[in-house]
Structure 1
Amino acid sequence: MKSITTASFALILFGVGAASADHASRVLVLGGGAVPSGTKTYTTGIRATIDGDSFCGGSLISPTHVLTTTACIGYTKPANWVSVGTHYLNGTHDGEQIKVVSAQNHTGFNSTSGSYDVALLRLERPSKFMPVKLPAADDSDVIPGMRSNLVGWGYTSYPNGTKAYELQGVGLEVWSNTDCARIYSLDDTMVCAGGGVGKDSCNGDTGGPLIKERGPGDEDDIVVGLVSWGSRMWCGVPRSVFACVESLGMDQLGH
């Protein structure tokens, strides 16, 4: 597995500024259940205020950097704070709340196609929590048919639901882009995943991680996707589209 420094990742792949995708952003975990408290602590809530509701999700990829999607950095609310290691949608009674000092879109982001729907947040101080691992650069960590886990605080029912107070998770299957292209127009910067009917991302989950789990604990978890977009009409349809973390050009940055 090739590795990169987060500083190089930010410098080469991202440009300053926020923009929004034209696709329907996803904002919930539908059809799942609460994860055990104290697990998936690399999952971050993105907030406008220190103790307010998280309106997007993200992934801690270094002590001072959070990976999310472009809709989460000013499209609807300002990304002023992240809450790292918390089990809850809001408040300051667990985890740590850290101020965001800068937000950058991927330089290749296309608001029409949704390509490279990735943004990077830089934090005011280092987090004490362990970052999630980034995927290998050789496409070996995203395999059609593999099981993955989506986590977030989005809606747990649709259309008349509310956001989850506790962090939720739901198992999804990764689909090939060829199969997914029967439903959506997508490219190699995207990955498609879904569960049965009623298992999906939706309102509130945007930017949150799609995880490949490699062991019973969280220390070897890999973030392979970020909740990006899906059907404009419904949550809970069989498949949604995620920004493919593998596709960000990390293999060009060296060891």
Structure 2
Amino acid sequence: MRTWLSFVGLLLAGSALFCSSEAMRLRGEPYPGLANLNRLRTSAMSASGPEGRVAGGTAPATGTWPWIVSIQNIYSYHICCGVIVDKRHVVTAASCVSGLRARNLICVSGTNDWWNLTAPYYQVEKIHTHCNFDKPLYHNDIALLQLSEDIVFDNLTQNITLADIDELQEGDVLTMAGWGASEAQGTYERYLNQASGTYLPVDKCRDKLQNQDDVDLGHVCVQMNVGQGVCHGDTGGPLIDQQNRLVGIGNWGVPCARGYPDVYARAAFYNDWIRTTINGCTIS
């Protein structure tokens, strides 16, 4: 557990504002993890109750998302989201952790408030980035974080079920969650938010984005209403179906909530990679 003394030291270390303009992977911007590597917490963060974070989102009840974690740097600043897949591994976007050292990352679980000083945290022991990450650009954006100790499961912390078979049909309701900003160039607040949209097949997603290169069968697209969707800070977060199965991991989007589809790594497409990496085997 983190202690109040350790956090006081971090809070006194600096007073940088929490501008999150680079904390979601957007076209032409730096990787979100690298962009936030040295950012600190600040007492300037809102201490009020839950407000909009995911653009146009709503605050879920405590325990609704027991598998989500806040990936933070050594100063306990939220970088990206992640998803617990077993007692030692968290899946996230490779763009969240590319270029970072494992020892500089922690995963905070079991809370809707990423600034919760009593929430359990786990140090990252090793980063497994997909060998074809960004080959081509915006593809294979997935990574596994191997933790230094087992996650303690309880009512607020659980692993998620992976969607084994790609059964998505156009119009299926999908729900995402994250701690991202409520608007482009916005600042982070504290509380988890969620929003729902509908599954959009790859061909229609490409048409909507006017892009043929950055979306393929390894992606899941979600069409949100204008004013709703992912924003800075939501990268790596879970996209779930109505059976609470993981169908996507937040990859990239057009900022923020302007009516364009949001793009996720397709969980079913990467199931073999996830399981083989966890088991310690090498994929040829």
TM-score by length of 2: 0.71
Runs of 5+ unmatched residues, structure 2 = 1-24, 34-52, 277-284
- Contact between 1:21 and 1:112, CA under 8 Å: does it hold in 2? no
Q: Is residue 201 of structure 1 aligned with residue 226 of structure 2?
A: no
Deviation for aligned residue 1:125: 0.9
Q: Which of 1 and 2 has greater Rg? A: 2
Tell me the residue number matched to 1:247.
Answer: 269
1:249–1:61 Cα change, 3 Å:
closer
Higher share of residues assigned helix? 2
1:110–1:155 Cα change, 3 Å:
same
Deviation for aligned residue 1:104: 1.0
Tell me the residue number matched to 2:250.
Answer: 227
1:123–1:196 Cα change, 3 Å:
same
- Which residue of the other structure, out of 88, 97, 106, is the alignment partner of 2:121? 97
- Contact between 2:72 and 2:107, CA under 8 Å: does it hold in 1? yes
- Contact between 2:89 and 2:147, CA under 8 Å: does it hold in 1? yes
Q: Distance in 1 between matches of 2:112 and 2:56?
A: 18
Deviation for aligned residue 1:90: 2.0
1:107–1:74 Cα change, 3 Å:
closer
Tell me the residue number matched to 2:159.
Answer: 131
Q: Equivalent residues in 2 for 1:72-83 (5 A)?
A: 72-75=96-99, 80-83=105-108
Amino acid at match of 1:171: S
Q: Distance in 2 between matches of 1:107 and 1:119?
A: 9
Q: Distance in 2 between matches of 1:223 and 1:22?
A: 25
Query: What is the aligned-residue identity percentage?
Result: 25
TM-score by length of 1: 0.79
Higher share of residues assigned strand? 1
1:77–1:105 Cα change, 3 Å:
closer
Deviation for aligned residue 1:35: 0.9
Deviation for aligned residue 1:58: 0.6
1:88–1:249 Cα change, 3 Å:
closer
SS at match of 1:113: coil
Q: Equivalent residues in 2 for 1:149-188 (5 A)?
A: 149-156=175-182, 158-182=183-207, 183=209, 184-185=211-212, 186-188=215-217
Tell me the residue number matched to 2:221.
Answer: 192
Tell me the residue number matched to 1:5.
Answer: none
Deviation by residue 1:58-87 (Cα, 9 ceiling, x = unmatched): 100001100000111145897510001121
Deviation for aligned residue 1:92: 2.5
Runs of 5+ unmatched residues, structure 1 = 1-19, 215-220
SS at match of 2:227: coil
